[in-house]
Amino acid sequence: MSTDSTAKTPAPAPPGSKNASGEGLLQLMLDGMRRNMRQYGMLMALGLIVVLFAVWTEGDLLLPRNVSNLVLQNSYILILAIGMMLVIISGHIDLSVGSLTAFIGAMSAVLMVEHDLPWPLAVVLCLAIGAVAGSAQGFFIAYLGIPSFIVTLAGMLVFRGLTEIFLKGQTLGPFPKGLQKIANGFLPEVGPETNYHNLTLLLGFALIAFVVFQEVRDRKRQQEFALDVPPFKLFLLKLVALVSAVLVVTLLLASYKGAPVVLLILGVLVVGFGYLMRNAIIGRHIYAIGGNLPAAKLSGVKDKKVTFLVFLNMGMLAALAGLVFAARFNAASPKAGLNFELEAIAAAFIGGASMSGGVGTVLGAIVGGLVLGVLNNGMNLVGIGTDYQQVIKGLVLLAAVGFDVWNKRKVGS
């Protein structure tokens, strides 16, 4: 009597079924994390760095005052990192942003301190000057075909020289109180008197609702288009981690003076540029020209126009960062903005940008900037010298880029 040999081999249990063992679920989650390592790697690294320095500083890192200072101290780098991420995604680089930041700070001081121009009008003019500076560089890069490295290197020298000329080698200040509040101020208190800052709590809970909605919607869209999505348990774990992080930061800020004004500006930038890169046509075109320029041209993408707009945008964000930096220190200095371009580039690469272009997210730029910011703050708290700090940050950058190269080779093999 013959037997059916296939009947002896039980069919494997589908992922997530009741018959799946705990080890199988763990393996499924690990596989999902490997497939989405770029997305989760730096978030996990940021969490580990926070935990490390929280323990090392005996909790000082997570004191409400220190968390608030962490936001204020890194706000201008985070603003630059958003623009730099778009530049790198498009396949270019910008070495001029530090000098342009200093130049805009100098211009704002000349307009407001020397010529008594009302600060709102001066802010608008400075943003326009930044846009003109960025568009000038974008014109040379996009329409004349000069490499961005050369154009922005020249821009770095030009803007640094103009800063010295306008300030005559001296520090100029102070700035109007209204502008200072943008960089150093906090949201006003509203509602009944409690132990927390009510408006900060309200904004924090609104942000949590937005994060949950956005993550669920993105997952559904990916499933509708039959795209690869992380396992549900991994997705749920990510969602819980994000909500917990936002809740902790909200409570810490609300127990001090509330959310800084500049944090609200950063939030608007992250949401706006995040939507632009995910949903708008210009965002898809930026990814396209960075990922495969010849294919993008064949598809009808106006690569020159897109490149021009990317650098115009970088100029405006550099101007905003220059205003925030000058207002925070209440003076414009010829030495302002030194190495800001390196910090912004490092934040973008640590946050998941690729050297070859076409890869990266706005949120990744923020995560990369926070990694550097927490490293700086934590190392200062434990008394590590600036010389060793530079070594450690360099190694972190090298590790992030090396991981990107390794991940590409593994995927390609």
Q: Is residue 33 part of a domain?
A: no
Two structure tokens written together for 114 = 């020397």
């590590």: which residue's tokens?
384
- Whether the pLDDT of residue 292 is over 50: the answer is yes
Decide: 201 and 254 in contact? Cβ < 8 Å. Answer: yes
- Residue 96 pLDDT greater than 60, yes or no: yes
More confident residue, 205 or 41: 205
Please check whether residue 10 lies inside any domain of the structure. Answer: no
**Residue 353 falls within a domain, yes or no?**
yes
Q: For the domain that residue 346 is a member of, what is the CATH number?
A: 1.10.3470
Residues 99 and 180 in one domain: yes
Checking if the pLDDT of 35 tops 70, the result is no
Confidence of residue 2 (pLDDT cuts 50, 70, 90): very low
Looking at the fold, whether 131 and 280 belong to one and the same domain comes out as yes
**Domain contains 132:** yes
Q: Could you say which of 259, 282, 304 is where a domain stops?
A: 259
Rounded to 10 deg, the angle between the 37-56 and 232-254 helix axes is 40
Nearest to 357 by CA among 151, 137, 84: 84
Looking at the fold, whether 155 and 295 belong to one and the same domain comes out as yes
Q: Which two tokens stand for residue 138?
A: 């974008």
CB 88 within 8 A of CB 347: no
Whether the pLDDT of residue 93 is over 50: the answer is yes
Based on the domain organization, do 127 and 174 belong to the same domain?
A: yes
Give me the count of residues in the chain.
413
The domain boundary, picked from 240, 259, 278, lies at: 259
User: Which amino acid, one-letter code, is at 57?
Assistant: T
Q: Can you give the residue range of the structural domain that contains 273?
A: 52-185+260-401
pLDDT score recorded for residue 105: 95
Token pair, residue 89, equals 């995604």
Most confident among 40-49, 152-161, 350-359 (mean pLDDT): 152-161
The model's confidence at residue 26, banded by pLDDT at 50, 70 and 90, is low
pLDDT of 29 above 90: no
CA distance 135 to 141: 10
- Pick from 30-39, 74-83, 252-261: least confident: 30-39
* Residue 243 forms part of a structural domain: yes
Say if 201 falls within a structural domain: yes
Q: Report the alpha-carbon distance of residue 303 to residue 306 in Å, rounded.
A: 5
DSSP state of 110: I
Locate all alpha helices (DSSP H) within 143-254, ordered by sequence.
148-167, 177-184, 198-224, 232-254
Q: Are residues 135 and 280 in the same domain?
A: yes
Q: How many distinct structural domains can be found in the chain?
A: 2
- Span 397-413, average pLDDT: 70
End-of-domain residue from the set 259, 283, 298: 259
Is the pLDDT assigned to residue 39 strictly greater than 70? no
Q: Which residue has the tokens 């990192």?
A: 81
Q: Are 123 and 323 in contact (CB under 8 A)?
A: yes
**Does residue 265 share a domain with residue 164?**
yes
Domain check: are 136 and 231 in the same one? Answer: no
User: 105: part of which helix (H) or strand (E)?
Assistant: helix 97-109
Instruction: Give residue 235's pLDDT.
Output: 84
- The answer to whether the beta carbons of residues 45 and 371 sit under 8 Å apart is yes
Q: Measured between alpha carbons, how far is 230 from 51 in angstroms, rounded to an integer? A: 25
Q: Are residues 308 and 198 in the same domain?
A: no
Query: What value does the mean pLDDT take over residues 294-312?
Result: 94
Among 125-129, 176-180, 227-231, 345-349, the range scoring the smallest mean pLDDT is 227-231
| Pair (277, 159) in one structural domain | yes
Q: Which of 267, 350, 358 is nearest to 49 (CA)?
A: 350
Residues 6+ apart with CB under 8 A from 114: 172
- As a whole-number percent, the residues of the chain with pLDDT over 70 amount to 88
Question: Is residue 47 a part of any domain in this protein?
Answer: no
Residue 21 pLDDT greater than 50, yes or no:
no
Instruction: State the pLDDT at residue 125.
Output: 97
Residue 11, in any domain of the structure: no
Burial code of 345-377, b = ≥16 C-beta within 10 A, e = fewer? bbbbbbbbbbeebbbbbbbbbbbbbbbbbbbbb
Q: Is the pLDDT of residue 34 over 60?
A: no
Cα distance between residue 81 and residue 344, in whole Å: 5
| Residue 30 clears pLDDT 60, i.e. is over it | no
What integer is the mean pLDDT of 328-352?
92
Residue 186: DSSP 8-state:
B
Mean pLDDT of 153-160: 96
Residue 56 shares a structural domain with residue 129: yes
**Confidence band of 318 (pLDDT split at 50, 70, 90):** very high
pLDDT of residue 207: 92
Lowest mean pLDDT among 50-54, 84-88, 194-198, 202-206: 194-198
**Banded pLDDT at 234 (limits 50, 70, 90):** confident
Check residue 238 and give its pLDDT: 81
- Both 142 and 110 in one domain: the answer is yes
Look at residue 141 in the predicted model and tell me its pLDDT. 97
- Looking at the structure, tell me whether residues 228 and 360 fall in a common domain: no
pLDDT at residue number 15: 43
What's the pLDDT at 401?
A: 76
